[in-house]
């Protein structure tokens, strides 16, 4: 059963009214199977310069993409869709959002969860795909306390070691140095809640870790089994609902290792279609939940489940 709800926070409404940032309604898409419930819940959206996201694509392909998807050539506003799994006495959140101090258009996850009746204390497990700001800066609240005080925090070992390495800030590049500083500070403050895992680990019953390196050195995706239906929580390994599906082989500037990121996307999309998995996409439009349809010449199409 699929339902689409639109939740609106007072802060989002104020920002829109003042014309400060582009905003969308906080969309939630739900799936119920096998006695469990999976929700795609919104943290808001990012606001990114166009020239840092799509401008490097071949001109003819880019012009066609802009026309078919109605993309702006000035800025991109990708959604931030978190996956929430409730199964028995487990409440599992995948990634924890941008928090209050990264970007004004994001950081709405606490409001979204509250509107759904989920308190921070209710979350039993937080499963992290990677440590970029829009995925982990919400680890701490505005009092610098852990946002999810009762959660076991699960993270890939390679990802943890990369961000906790003191040399990362000097090797990651100037444009991402603040990412490294912010990640290390937050991870250090919640370290006693963290369990480190490897590729293939069953992080909670029915949820398997799937190594998907490239976007970051230790990026991890997760395959969730709901009854007879599998769902792949892709994090940023599949970074949008258009070019990442149509041309997964194109290197992306958003990936720290663009060539590895492209190879990972292709492998994940092959796995998704071969195993008939649903996609839970973090920066994918229409709530982020849908299917990948395999087309000709290595291309795919995202079909939302609405």
Domain region containing 95: 2-304
Query: What distance separates the 2 farthest-apart alpha carbons in the chain?
Result: 52
What pLDDT sits at residue 50? 81
What pLDDT sits at residue 82? 98
- Closest residue by Cα to residue 290 from 83, 75, 10, 67: 83
Rounded to whole angstroms, how far apart are CA atoms 271 and 259?
19
What pLDDT sits at residue 26? 63
What pLDDT sits at residue 54? 78
- DSSP-derived secondary structure letter, 251: -
Rounded to whole angstroms, how far apart are CA atoms 230 and 149?
29
What pLDDT sits at residue 13? 41
- Tell me if residue 19 falls in helix, strand or coil: coil
- Sheet of 152-156: strands edge to edge? 2-7, 26-33, 36-45, 79-87, 90-94, 125-127, 152-156, 194-197
What pLDDT sits at residue 169? 97
User: Is residue 36 within 8 Å of 231, Cβ to Cβ?
Assistant: no
Tracing tokens 């990121």 back to the chain, one arrives at: 261
Q: How many domains does the structure of the chain reveal?
A: 1
Which phi and psi (to 5°) does residue 264 adopt? -65, -45
What pLDDT sits at residue 2? 37
Tell me the CA distances in angstroms from 71 to 34, 53, 163, one per residue in order.
38, 12, 33
User: Is residue 238 within 8 Å of 269, Cβ to Cβ?
Assistant: yes
Which phi and psi (to 5°) does residue 247 adopt? -135, 70
What pLDDT sits at residue 297? 86
What pLDDT sits at residue 112? 94
What pLDDT sits at residue 132? 98
- Tell me if residue 192 falls in helix, strand or coil: helix
Which pair of tokens denotes residue 62? 């880019």
- DSSP-derived secondary structure letter, 193: G
User: The domain spanning residue 256 has which CATH number?
Assistant: 3.60.15.10
Angle at 213 between CA 197 and CA 96, to 5 degrees: 60
Residuewise pLDDT in 10s, the chain (306 residues): 333 333 333 344 443 333 344 444 465 788 988 889 999 999 999 999 887 667 778 889 889 989 999 988 888 899 999 999 999 999 999 999 999 999 999 999 999 999 999 999 999 999 999 999 999 999 999 999 999 999 999 999 999 999 999 999 999 999 999 999 999 999 999 999 999 999 999 999 999 999 999 999 999 999 999 888 999 999 999 999 999 999 999 999 999 999 999 999 999 999 999 999 999 999 999 999 999 999 988 899 999 986
């Amino acid at each position: 059963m699929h339902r689409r709800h639109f939740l609106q926070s007072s802060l989002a409404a104020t920002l829109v009214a003042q014309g400060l940032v582009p905003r969308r309604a906080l969309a939630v898409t739900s799936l119920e199977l096998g006695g469990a419930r999976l929700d795609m819940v919104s943290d808001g959206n990012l606001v990114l310069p166009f020239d840092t996201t799509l401008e490097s694509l071949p001109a003819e392909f880019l012009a066609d993409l802009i026309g078919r998807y109605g993309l702006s050539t000035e800025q991109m506003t990708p959604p931030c869709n978190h996956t929430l799994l409730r199964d028995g006495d487990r409440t599992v959140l995948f990634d924890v959002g941008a928090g209050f101090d990264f970007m004004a258009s994001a950081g709405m996850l606490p409001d979204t969860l509250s509107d759904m009746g989920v308190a921070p204390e209710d979350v039993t497990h937080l499963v992290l795909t990677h440590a970029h700001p829009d995925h982990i800066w919400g680890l701490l609240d505005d009092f610098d306390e852990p946002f999810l005080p009762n959660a076991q925090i699960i993270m890939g070992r390679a990802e943890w070691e990369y961000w906790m390495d003191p040399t990362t800030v000097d090797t990651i590049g100037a444009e991402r140095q603040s990412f490294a500083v912010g990640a290390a500070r937050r991870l250090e403050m919640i370290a006693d809640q963290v369990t480190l895992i490897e590729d293939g680990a069953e992080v909670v019953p029915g949820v398997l870790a799937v190594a998907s390196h490239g976007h970051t050195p230790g990026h991890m995706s997760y395959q969730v089994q709901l009854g007879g239906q599998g769902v792949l929580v892709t994090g940023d390994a599949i970074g949008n609902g258009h070019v990442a599906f149509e041309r997964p082989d194109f290197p992306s500037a958003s990936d720290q290792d663009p060539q590895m990121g492209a190879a990972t996307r292709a492998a994940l999309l092959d796995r998704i279609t071969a195993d008939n998995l649903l996609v839970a996409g973090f920066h994918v439009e229409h709530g982020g939940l849908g299917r990948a349809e395999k087309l000709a010449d290595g291309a795919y199409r995202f079909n939302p489940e609405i």
